[in-house]
Amino acid sequence: MMLEFLLSINFLGHFLIASVIALLIFKNFCNLYSAETSEPILPTAKRQQKENERQRPQSLYRNIDTNFRCIEVYFATEYGNTKKLCEKLVEYFTTTKSIDSVLIDLSNIEPEDVLHSKNAQRKCLSLFVLPTVTDGQPPKAAKWFCKWLSDAATDFRIDKQSQAHVSYAVFGLGNSVYAENFNIVAKEVDENLAQLGACRVCKLTLGDEDTSESQNGGLEADFDAWTKVIENVVWSQCTPPYEVLDTRANEVETSSEEEDVVDIEDLVKPKSKRTNSKSEGAKEMITPQLRGVLTKQGYKLIGFHSGVKLCRWTKSMMRGRGGCYKHTFYGIESHRCMETTPSLACANKCVFCWRHHSNPVGTEWKWKMDDANTILRGALENHYNMIKEFKGVPGVLPEKFAEALAVKHCALSLVGEPIMYPEINKFCRLLHEEGISTFLVTNAQFPEAIRAMDPVTQLYVSVDASTKESLKKIDRPLFKDFWERFIDSLKALSEKTVQP
């Protein structure tokens, strides 16, 4: 068994502070420098742009420093309508308005490239024109982009301001006869971009093929009306005009008193109905509310207390791209790795945890329990179903897709505390019997459980702080003797031996 743990080192702290100061100085220097340089303008467009500036109303002209310098039109099509409309739009802005405009088929690009493109940084306006097709799905060409975006918007590890440099508008093509599926793709893309901090320059516009319902009498007329709106936006600056509603905020606020940690199940019941769980016997760990929140965030829940989710590196490697650090250090195949947890609950309420308003907590197992075999079967079935969604998606390599349908590694690190699950040894043993290696991460609050752990492929202990005070502030542990448990966990780890 290979053992690993992370330590905070004073030297590292000083190094980081020095790096941040150096970066700030460098950033200020860059800002000063870029303030004095002007954006390149295409020679052919220059004369016409001057003419446009002359004709613009004075009130808008004052915003010239914040005008968009170019337009990128991202589109995908199944039956050809979207492409035709987008070509018309690009032609209009390029020739009539002399704005550097480019048409980009979403099937030809990587999502990361769209949203981190230099053009977005240099004040390009990003327009997304997307139809909804069969069963409320995006066209095949946009499947990867839409999935990537929705995963990113709900992934707690991704900074919710990561797309703050992007200014965007979305137009949807749809037909209102499809009722609840009407333009669902455009709605989701618009919402997910906002969730990632991108700046929405104008309201989401939904084109309707149904001429009796369409605001302007048909899809093309809706699109033309939107083009006019965009034309005005191009001369204005980007300030988010619409409040972003966090539709995921179904979580229940817990008490702010650190000592008064109450289980989420108790919080969602009216006070008079709260009961002592022990007197009632085993409870369910996942309430209907929590189930709804986790499902929306892309988790596949198994039984009473387990979950599985597709890791971004698994998806990346299916496309022949990079794997995670375990690939770099230990050669694991990220596209054949399953990320799961047999316990969504834990004994901390870490400040950095995306679930700290909603995670079930406890100092011991007190919930209804599934047996290890049920969890393993459920995890594999759900994992493979998620992998199968990538069949035929542009960019996914057929040989990697086929390999991904045979899991070789299991990361027991998704969320929660896997070591709390009473049958954790059996669960790991079953994984080994399937030829699957195990990577288990524990949060250093259960030293006896660490001692009782049978060998796994790699055992990790998270070290989130280096002093008692900072650990209390950061992990907000439930245990009063959390520091002793933490130290004892490291001791338990050091007692383990590395096996060949």
Ligand X SMILES: Cc1cc2nc3c(=O)[nH]c(=O)nc-3n(C[C@H](O)[C@H](O)[C@H](O)COP(=O)(O)O)c2cc1C
Does the footprint of ligand X cover residue 205 (CB under 6 A)?
no
Among 52, 81, 117, 216, binds ligand X (CB under 6 A): 81
133 binds, among ligand X, ligand SF4, none (CB under 5 to 8 A by kind): ligand X
User: Is residue 183 at the binding interface for ligand X, with CB under 6 A as the rule?
Assistant: yes
Q: Which helix (H) or strand (E) holds 31?
A: helix 10-36
| Cβ 286 vs Cβ 344: under 8 Å | yes
Q: Which is nearer to ligand SF4, 225 or 353 (CB)?
A: 353
**Residue 80 interacts with ligand X (CB under 6 A)?**
yes
Lookup result for tokens 């590196």: 313
When CB distances are held under 5 to 8 angstroms depending on the partner's kind, the choice from ligand X, ligand SF4, none that residue 72 binds is none
Please identify, using beta-carbon distances, which residue of 105 and 333 lies nearer to ligand X.
105
Q: Is 237 buried (19+), middle (13-18) or exposed (0-12) by CB count in 10 A?
A: middle
Are 351 and 293 spatial neighbours (Cβ–Cβ below 8 Å)?
no
Task: Indicate which of ligand X, ligand SF4, none lies near residue 139 (CB less than 5 to 8 Å, by partner kind).
Answer: ligand X
CA-derived radius of gyration, the chain: 26
359 binds ligand SF4 (CB under 6 A): yes
CB of 339 to ligand SF4, least distance (A): 13
Is 236 a binding residue for ligand X by CB under 6 A? The answer is: no
Tokens describing residue 214: 């369409």
Q: Does 383 bind ligand SF4 (CB under 6 A)?
A: no
Q: Applying CB under 6 A, which part among 132-140, 254-262, 305-313, 436-444 lies near ligand X?
A: 132-140
Q: Which residue has the tokens 């669960």?
A: 427
Give the binding-site size for ligand SF4 (rule: CB under 6 A): 11
Q: At its nearest, how many Å lie between ligand SF4 and the CB of residue 34? A: 38
In degrees rounded to 5, what are phi and psi of residue 302?
-120, 125
Q: Applying CB under 6 A, which part among 73-81, 142-150, 389-397, 449-457 lies near ligand X?
A: 73-81
**DSSP alpha helix (H) spans, 268-362:** 277-280, 288-296, 312-318, 325-330
The verdict on 173 binding ligand X (CB under 6 A) reads yes
DSSP, collapsed to helix, strand or coil, labels residue 239 as: coil
Q: Is 443 in the site for ligand SF4 (CB under 6 A)?
A: yes
| Cα–Cα distance measured from residue 454 to residue 427, given in angstroms and rounded to the nearest whole number | 11
Q: Which of 73, 104, 127, 131 binds ligand X (CB under 6 A)?
A: 131
Neighbouring CB atoms inside 10 A of 324's CB total: 18
Judged by CB under 6 A, the stretch of 112-120, 276-284, 348-356, 466-474 that binds ligand SF4 is: 348-356
Write out the DSSP string of 131-176.
E-BGGGBPPGGGHHHHHHHHHHHH-TTS-TTTTTT-EEEEEEEE-G
What distance in Å separates the CA atoms of residue 247 and residue 474, rounded to the nearest whole number? 27
Terminal-to-terminal C-alpha distance of the chain: 7
Binding partner of residue 181 among ligand SF4, ligand X, none, CB cut-off 5 to 8 Å per kind = ligand X
Q: Judged by CB under 6 A, which stretch of 252-260, 379-387, 415-423, 487-495 contacts ligand SF4?
A: 415-423
Name the site residues for ligand X (rule: CB under 6 A): 77-82, 131-134, 136, 139, 173-175, 178, 181-183, 209, 219
